[in-house]
Structure 1
Amino acid sequence: MTLRIGNASGFYGDRFDALREMLTGGELDVLTGDYLAELTMLILGRDRMKDPAAGYARTFLRQLEEGLGLAHERGVKIVTNAGGLNPAGLADAVRQLADRLGIPVRVAHVEGDDLLARHPGALAAHAYLGGFGIARCLREGADVVVTGRVTDAALVTGPAAAHFGWTPDDHDRLAGAVAAGHILECGTQATGGNYAFFHKRDRAHDLRRPGFPLAELHADGSCVITKHPGTGGFVDVGTVTAQLLYETGGARYAGPDVTARLDTVRLTQDGPDRVRVEGVTGEAPPPTLKVGLNRFGGFRNEVVFVLTGLDIEAKAALVREQMADAFAKSPPAEVRWDLVRTDRPDADTEETASALLRLVVRDQDQTSVGRALSGAAIELALASYPGFHVVAPPGKGAPYGVFEAAYVPQDAVEHLAVLHDGRRVAVPAAPDTLVLDEVPEPALPEPSPPDAATRRAPLGLVAGARSGDKGGNANIGVWVETDEAWRWLAHTLTVERLRELLPETAGLRVVRHVLPNLRALNFVVEGILGAGVAAQHRFDPQAKALGEWLRSRHLDIPEVLL
């Protein structure tokens, strides 16, 4: 029996109409919505500080205004982590909405992830729970299940375990569902969104509005990734590979239910817009649960100076010296300058003749990054380099957050399924666990012939990439489409070569993981994002474009691949 699970949200702020589109576009058994990211938990934490009854994704409630009746008519279960920091509050709000609309639905929720009491001083502290709380709610008859912080894949493992009767020791089956959940979790990234080779698709694959993905799951844990007929975008081995690599590390993809071995995943094209995912091996989960901690980091401000025409370096040096003098009495704790050379010689527009000099300051004292910066920068308006102006005047300084991960024993967290009838049922921790260990690097294919003719060209002509963030680390997944290209990539793109191509990784620990089944390499760059996305350590604070920077770098590529 096939279980059809779709996704209608990849983040808080995703396409509003997606929930209705998924309910009306084709057959579904379960519709999920992923609203939580590291940054989202910080945003919801701030909401809760202003209003203790807040802390959940209000967008989801507005989507249900028109979607709840459709789901009830079609018999589609809804499972979402939109509960955020207050799943009980959202569950009550859904019940009130259902009563107002006259729709008889049974609403349950999952709680126990909130560990704020154990971490004083944090804005939010939440353990990543697994899917068996969701499964218990569904087995007891819930139509809508609301959770707080669960793993993204739990939105799929929970319904799958409930439907197929899986138990915690069904590791291979659960691992298959984890793979499916990870592919679905970011919505249209599996159907052509943010895809490295987007420009190679023909007009028939309209990327203006990609459809959201769904998985046809089977009892053995295998699945087919597809989308509703007639929707935009496309599903192929490449789009699925890219999403499998997104925000992952090594061959072991650990979660509270199971550790999925990404090095065992097999992908095959199963027809137009259909990719079969099978062969996923599972291992017992680790004995600990990850806890995401969001803390107040301090205050941050920035100003971007525009430098136009000649003498860019000298202009930058002058304003840096002037600002250093202004900060001399009370310097901010952190001062960072970046000169971005967007200018070009003999430019035919003023904008393309200009470079950007970005100043970012941080401090625990808002005054040091607010009035001090604003006054110092604006007072230079008539007293600095020729052509002085800024992109926007600096503000008062805004608070920023810091994300960090902690770990607690699985049995130290009270995972609870709060059923539609009010019963509170404890969900036991995984009975078997396994401490994570690095997977030895697998054997590489035979290298390309050493005497093959090469041409200097961008890596992206032969390789796709997708990158993302995990706390202060970034990952870059790189894959190729043919065995011949894999022979070359596996031996060429070493850690040393990556450091040469991306000099910003200098001094940082970089770990390479080899995934031959996917013809892919996954690099984890530790610490490149500082204290995480909310700290905005880099101008690309979530490393979304790090992979595209890598693809743009030139190296010697065998002509046969080009």
Structure 2
Amino acid sequence: MLRVGNCSGFYGDRLAAMREMLTDGELDVLTGDYLAELTMLILGRDRAKDPATGYAKTFLVQLRECLELALERGVRIVANAGGVNPPALVAAIRELGTPARVALVRGDDLTARAGALDLGTPLGAHAYLGAFGIARALTGGADVVVTGRVTDAALTVGPAIAHFDWGHDDLDALAGATVAGHVIECGAQATGGNYAFFTEIDDPLRPGFPIAELRPDGSSVITKHPGTGGAVTVGTVTAQLVYEIDDARYAGPDVTTRLDTVSLRQAGPDRVEITGVRGEAPPPDLKVSCTTVGGYRNELTVVLTGLDVEAKAALFRRQFEAAPGTAPAEVTWSLARLDTADAATQQQASALLSVVARDPDEKVAGRAFSKAAVELALSSYPGFFSTTPPAGAQPYGVFTAGFVPQSVPRHEVVHDDGRVEPIDPPALTRPLEPLTGGPGIPLGAGPTRRAPLGTLAGARSGDKGGNANIGLWVRSDSAYPWLASLITEQTIRELLPETAALPVRITRLPGIRAVNVVVEGLLGAGVAYHARFDPQAKGLGEWLRSRHVEIPVTLLPDREEL
């Protein structure tokens, strides 16, 4: 068995988690995931200002406190905290003065070759590398492995490859470890954090971070250190399993994992067993994260209180658009009718009107935008005020996904002694074909009652570039036919009206009683573009759960109350 823990799900996660994971129980490997599409843009801009930066500085803070402890306990550390400048992080770790052997996995950075690879001229172009470089770094003796952009699951799969001596053709084992890695990659989201049924968690105050106990065949048990907060249940694991996925084929550089083969079982308190996962040969191409500064963005939200909300909003909009110099390349207006009639508090009597401007020129999106807002302060609708004072424009990012053949990145390991070892791409690949998991399940007739979807269904949602995903699941076999038949493209468009004109894809995963929904283009050009109120679609699933649908009376938990 190999025990792989996680201490970070994003750049900014709980700083104390590394020490907690090292002191609260036994581990063999400790991983940290610090990268996301937005983070790559932030780190790219950091490096553009200062060539010595571009990595996750919080990881270095954690190592300064915990690296000697990890060495004492024999725990090896694997993290993608190198960001867009992994060599600089390796140099900084060596300056800590510990005897740790540090290896670098490199080759993801394709920025200098972006034009020749038809990737345009992005600020950064980084390929998602696989796990075999991490594995070779560990078998080469590294105590700390630093990577740039690798797949999130690779942080777990790499140590498993090294420990169990898997090869490229051990597809089922690689797929099983990929599922385990996907479950623990986002930290406490696997142990009760951000969980739809959070009121059922006995100790939600400070969830412990997750651990995957991996076996030689790729099966695993997801758990956490004894005595830590949160919970590990089939529900918490399912919630993370359906987070930010596309369809039943979960593509990676080393293996395409069949999510429709996953089996989950509660194997004891805070222990969930994952078995049965099948793998297929990986696709011939690697995904490339391309980030670009798209221009400048500014936003203002004004409050409309009391009567005549629509008329007040129309007046302010006409005045703002008529102001000299306020003609940004793109302007978006949104009115949130949060007000109620005869409200007992001023907040309950108020609606919010937001205007977002984007323009290539910082002055147009900045000074001219703010000047127009300020000058209207005493000449607009009654009760005028804004939630924050007008401010300067900020650069915004655009994310696009590119693809290159697996052989394009120069995937290499730089061992602690300076030796460079190339990592060969997989010899066998298979073109990726979408797998939606079959049609809906016909549901027999019977009495129904209208109630929130979340009465029975959990959800977790997130971003995949410009797309949003919503993973829905139920906790009983009897409820799954209802969920599978309910969730269709038409239903999603009715329940979430802003999806009406967008492509919607549905994947059914009966093995884990789940349905995955992908809404294409909902997030515009990605999270850094801020296309909507919830730019990462984190709350989209909870909105869907709050919508009322027809539920068979036989499935309702408290029929008298409902």
Please tell me the TM-score bracket, short chain as reference: over 0.9
CA contact (8 A) 2:438 2:507 kept: no
Which amino acid letter does the alignment assign opposite residue 266 of structure 1?
S
Give the Cα–Cα distance (whole angstroms) in 2 for the partners of residues 371 and 146 of structure 1.
42
By how many angstroms is 1:351 displaced? 1.3
Which amino acid letter does the alignment assign opposite residue 477 of structure 1?
G
Corresponding residue of 2:426: 430
Q: Does 1:199 align with 2:196?
A: no
Corresponding residue of 1:248: 245
Give the Cα–Cα distance (whole angstroms) in 1 for the partners of residues 200 and 204 of structure 2.
11
Which amino acid letter does the alignment assign opposite residue 356 of structure 2?
V
The TM-score normalised by the length of structure 2 is 0.97
Corresponding residue of 1:449: 444
Corresponding residue of 1:459: 453
- Within the candidate set 270, 282, 286, 1:285 is matched to 282
Corresponding residue of 1:402: 398
Give the Cα–Cα distance (whole angstroms) in 2 for the partners of residues 443 and 326 of structure 1.
53
Give the Cα–Cα distance (whole angstroms) in 1 for the partners of residues 341 and 38 of structure 2.
40
CA contact (8 A) 2:90 2:104 kept: yes
CA contact (8 A) 2:337 2:351 kept: yes
Query: What SS does the corresponding residue of 2:90 show, helix, strand or coil?
Result: helix
Q: Does 1:477 align with 2:471?
A: yes
Q: Deviations over 1:498-533 (max 9, x none)?
A: 110000001100000110101111011000000000
Give the Cα–Cα distance (whole angstroms) in 2 for the partners of residues 118 and 52 of structure 1.
19
Give the Cα–Cα distance (whole angstroms) in 2 for the partners of residues 247 and 439 of structure 1.
16
Query: What SS does the corresponding residue of 1:41 show, helix, strand or coil?
Result: helix
Q: Deviations over 1:369-427 (max 9, x none)?
A: 11211111111111110001111122121110100000000001110011111001100
Give the Cα–Cα distance (whole angstroms) in 1 for the partners of residues 364 and 412 of structure 2.
45
The within-5 A match list for 1:77-476 is: 77-97=76-96, 99=97, 103-119=98-114, 121-201=121-201, 205-326=202-323, 331-439=327-435, 441-442=437-438, 445=441, 447-450=442-445, 452-476=446-470
Q: Deviations over 1:450-494 (max 9, x none)?
A: 1x1111110000100000001100001110011111011111111
Give the Cα–Cα distance (whole angstroms) in 2 for the partners of residues 167 and 200 of structure 1.
42
By how many angstroms is 1:444 displaced? 5.1
Query: What SS does the corresponding residue of 1:484 show, helix, strand or coil?
Result: coil
Gap change, CA 1:162 and 1:331, over 3 Å in 2:
same
Which amino acid letter does the alignment assign opposite residue 552 of structure 2?
P
Q: Deviations over 1:423-462 (max 9, x none)?
A: 01100001110001122633655x3321x11111100001
Corresponding residue of 2:34: 35
Instruction: Return 5+ residue gaps in structure 2 as ranges.
Output: 116-120, 557-562
Which amino acid letter does the alignment assign opposite residue 125 of structure 2?
A
Give the Cα–Cα distance (whole angstroms) in 2 for the partners of residues 149 and 250 of structure 1.
22
By how many angstroms is 1:330 displaced? 5.2
By how many angstroms is 1:104 displaced? 1.8
Percent identical pairs in the alignment equals: 64
Give the Cα–Cα distance (whole angstroms) in 1 for the partners of residues 298 and 182 of structure 2.
35
The within-5 A match list for 1:36-75 is: 36-75=35-74
Which amino acid letter does the alignment assign opposite residue 465 of structure 1?
A
Q: Does 1:513 align with 2:507?
A: yes
Give the Cα–Cα distance (whole angstroms) in 1 for the partners of residues 470 and 186 of structure 2.
16
Give the Cα–Cα distance (whole angstroms) in 1 for the partners of residues 140 and 344 of structure 2.
68
Give the Cα–Cα distance (whole angstroms) in 1 for the partners of residues 489 and 132 of structure 2.
39
Query: What SS does the corresponding residue of 2:95 show, helix, strand or coil?
Result: helix
By how many angstroms is 1:53 displaced? 1.1
Corresponding residue of 2:560: none
Q: Does 1:534 align with 2:528?
A: yes
Query: What SS does the corresponding residue of 2:521 show, helix, strand or coil?
Result: coil
CA contact (8 A) 2:157 2:178 kept: yes
- Within the candidate set 536, 539, 560, 2:554 is matched to 560
Which amino acid letter does the alignment assign opposite residue 263 of structure 1?
D
Which amino acid letter does the alignment assign opposite residue 93 of structure 1?
A
Give the Cα–Cα distance (whole angstroms) in 2 for the partners of residues 485 and 297 of structure 1.
45
Give the Cα–Cα distance (whole angstroms) in 2 for the partners of residues 243 and 51 of structure 1.
36
CA contact (8 A) 2:248 2:437 kept: no
Q: Deviations over 1:283-338 (max 9, x none)?
A: 000000000000010000011011001111110011011112115x5511111110
Deviation larger for 119-128 or 103-112 = 119-128
Gap change, CA 1:504 and 1:134, over 3 Å in 2:
same
By how many angstroms is 1:88 displaced? 1.3
By how many angstroms is 1:119 displaced? 2.4
Give the Cα–Cα distance (whole angstroms) in 2 for the partners of residues 68 and 109 of structure 1.
17
Which amino acid letter does the alignment assign opposite residue 49 of structure 2?
K
Give the Cα–Cα distance (whole angstroms) in 2 for the partners of residues 41 and 382 of structure 1.
42
By how many angstroms is 1:345 displaced? 1.1
Corresponding residue of 2:559: none
Instruction: Return 5+ residue gaps in structure 1 as ranges.
Output: none
By how many angstroms is 1:69 displaced? 1.1
Gap change, CA 1:293 and 1:443, over 3 Å in 2:
closer
Q: Deviations over 1:143-181 (max 9, x none)?
A: 110000000000011000000000011100000010000
By how many angstroms is 1:559 displaced? 1.4
The TM-score normalised by the length of structure 1 is 0.97
Gap change, CA 1:444 and 1:381, over 3 Å in 2:
closer
Corresponding residue of 1:548: 542
Give the Cα–Cα distance (whole angstroms) in 2 for the partners of residues 440 and 548 of structure 1.
23
Which amino acid letter does the alignment assign opposite residue 230 of structure 1?
G
